[in-house]
Chains A and B, each alone.
Chain A
Amino acid sequence: MNELASLVAATLSAGTPLAIAGLGLLVNERAGILNLGAEGMMLVAALTGFAVCFETGNDWIGFAAGAGAGALVAACFGWLVIWLNTNQYATGLAVSLFGGGFTAFVGVAYVGKKLAERADYSIPLLRDIPFLGPALFRQHPLVYFTVAATAGIAWFLYRTRAGLVLRAIGESPESAHALGYPVRPIRLLAVSVGGAMCGLAGAYFSIAYAPLWVEGMVAGRGWIALALTVFATWRPARILLGAYLFGGVTMIQLHLQGMGVNIANQLMAMLPYLATVIVLVLISRNPAWIRLNMPASLGKPFFPNL
């Protein structure tokens, strides 16, 4: 029973950064922009968050700095693809490559540094409930935030006028432009929000999850978060579900080892990546279904004739 509770707790914790990043990417993809730079933004934010947290000793300033760094990188990406109309695939890749190189260079100073004693965020009373306590109520606050953010983004997209405009821009920027909506500024805003969320996810790795800085520590989770948006067919609730699924796959690998299953850990570590491939295959099998759900202008350039 305790074993299971700790598996649930670890799954939620591992799924949280994927969900936060996935939700952010969902917002900018709903506006029609595909940002392949998720991995790079998360790395920049993980380093920024760690460095700021290390220097100030305050986790929350660290998280804010991480989100800010992610938003800044995303805004640069956004300016290139939205105003200069550069290829979204190539520019996103550039962000990922730059993020890897830049953080490897700047981060040298922070390798091996330790953060102050991590705070205990478990909730009094609730944490002592058998099973549910250790499984759900001894988590980092961002774990709960993620659930709230999922609901918030779903409400925003489907229940507000601004959300409707955002989705309209993602489906047909030409029509939204003709109606007088400022397509490009709104897209930039959406991309920046996506960057801020990816940044928060990156900072979660280096401040709460690991907590340390290592070169390339995001280890492909940015790409997995991109795959999540496809898996979720661009729906917020399914992002959360998918993220916990991946978190579970990551954790089962560790638990199997704990249970004495004798498989080399390198082979077990392949699981999340193989799971991503399998999930992509299953979900993409029906192209009509993807076409139906995918924002119609995703990845396509839009250049208004002013």
Chain B
Amino acid sequence: MIQLEARTAPSLAMSVLSPLVALLVTVVVAGLLFVALGKDPVRGLSVFLVEPFNGTRALTELGLKATPLVLISLGLALCYRSNVWNIGAEGQFLLGAITGGWLALWVTDSGLAIPRWAFFPLVTLAGALGGGLWAGVVAFLRDRFHASEILVSLMLVYVANLLLSYLVFGPWKDPNGFNFPQTVNFAANTEIPRLVHGMRLNAGFPVALATALAMWLFLFRTYGGVQLQVGGPAPAAARYAGFSSRTALWMTLVTSGALAGVAGAYEVAGPMGQLTPHVATGYGFTAIIVAFVGRLHPLGCVLASGLLSMFLIGGELAQSRVGLPSALSGVFQGVLLFSLLACDTLILYRPRWRRTA
């Protein structure tokens, strides 16, 4: 029978191979699922694996979807590296959407003639403040009262969602909107500058890539990055070295909250152009998968964001092309994460044949 045996050192090869194997498993499962549902598996798979890359429009849409995933997953990777379990990025995303949306509404109402390029950094800041503050609450309760950041951050997702609902059903509702729960459309000058004419891809995308580069420099080229990360795998060593776990807690939570908030602000000031109760689309949860598939590495997060946004777009296409609910992408995301975690076992252990006694 097969038994697992601890490796003397973690296998680097397996840690790179594992996401690829997991992807392969997911594709096989997906193919089988299409067959089981009586759909043509080749047609089904091509919707997920080929069409998101087919043409300039498809590629720009891929980049648009990847933008929030990159931003959020970078922050989460930072958290998980220092053993801080922020799973409420969705709530921080929503708060950023609310504060970013508030700024855009204010500009719209006051008719301020601010150029797009000048509004862009302002809305970035607004989103970062909103998301950072929301995560700051988690950090404060964890630091001061030792309340589990897992449960608190997740509870605040529901609170943020209800807060958004309250605003768009109540005080921020468009008075001329036939009673629909949504704000007015934001003024044209609040829209995030687009990159390619006629495509929705916007300046948020290069910002996300630059953030990934900055995160890489911080994690692997600065002393502060080392300090934060030691606390994850070796909390005792971090204490002896005098690295503060409190600093790590605050730093990682507020940074990841701010990044998620920026993603939220870009979403409402970009493709949405108004606030509705449907701002929450699960980016905050998908980004958790991105962070793990990307090996908590900034470059990996960028690649994995591309992969997961491919799944998201495939899910949307599946509805019109193969006649399956778009929730299909959620199933595939789950399968991907499961197989990844199972494959990750081989990083620390190797299978060994053993005769049973």
Q: B-contacting residues of A (Cβ < 8 Å)?
A: 36, 80, 83-87, 89-91, 93-94, 97-102, 104-105, 108, 215, 219-220, 223-224, 226-227, 230, 264, 266-267, 269-270, 273-274, 276-277, 280-282, 284-285, 287, 290, 303, 306
Contact = CB atoms under 8 A, between A and B. Distances in A.
A195 B153 CA distance: 24
A176 to B, nearest CB: 20
For B141, B154, B341, the residue with the greatest tally of chain A CB atoms inside 10 Å of its CB is B154
A264 B289 CA distance: 35
A223 B145 CA distance: 19
Interface string B328-356: 11111111011001101100110000000
B147 interface: yes
Interface size class of B (residues with CB under 8 A): 35 or more
Contacts of A94: 334, 337-338, 341
Given A80-B338, A94-B334, A102-B331, A223 B285 contact: no
A276 B155 CA distance: 8
**Chain A contact residues, majority secondary structure:** helix
Nearest to A91: B341
Contact of B147 (A102, A226, A267, A277): A277
Nearest to A85: B345
A90 B331 contact: no
B159 A270 contact: yes
Given A86-B342, A108-B325, A280 B169 contact: no
A277 B6 contact: no
B224 to A, nearest CB: 25
A270 B158 contact: yes
Describe B's contact surface by its main secondary structure.
helix
Interface in B226-251: none
Contacts of A230: 148, 151
A199 to B, nearest CB: 18
B163 A104 contact: no
Given A280-B151, A280-B152, A84 B328 contact: no
Contacts of A108: 325, 327
B341 A85 contact: no
Contacts of B62: none
Interface string B150-166: 11101111110011011
Contact of A284 (B146, B292, B335): B146
Contacts of A97: 285, 288-289, 330, 333-334, 337
A3 to B, nearest CB: 26
A306 B3 CA distance: 9
Contacts of B3: 306
Nearest to B325: A108
Contacts of A284: 145-148
A98 B141 contact: no
A303 to B, nearest CB: 7
6 smallest CB-CB distances across A and B, nearest first, come from: A101-B330, A98-B334, A104-B327, A266-B166, A105-B327, A84-B345
A37 to B, nearest CB: 11
Interface string B1-21: 001101000000000000000
B34 interface: no
Given A84-B342, A90-B292, A273-B155, A98 B331 contact: yes
A287 B147 CA distance: 9
B271 interface: no
Contacts of B97: none
Given A91-B341, A94-B337, A85 B154 contact: no
B329 A101 contact: yes
A197 B205 CA distance: 45
B53 interface: no
B163 A266 contact: yes
Contact of A226 (B151, B156, B166, B285): B151
Contacts of A102: 330-331, 334
Q: Name, among B152, B162, B332, B348, the residue most crowded by chain A CB atoms within 10 Å (CB to CB).
A: B162
Contacts of B285: 97, 100
A226 B338 CA distance: 21
B146 A264 contact: no
Contacts of A91: 338, 341
Given A84-B4, A105-B331, 11 more contacts: A86-B344, A90-B341, A97-B333, A98-B334, A98-B335, A101-B332, A102-B331, A104-B327, A104-B330, A273-B158, A273-B159
> Taking each of A87, A97, A281, A287, which has the highest tally of chain B beta carbons within 10 Å of its own beta carbon?
A97
B87 interface: yes
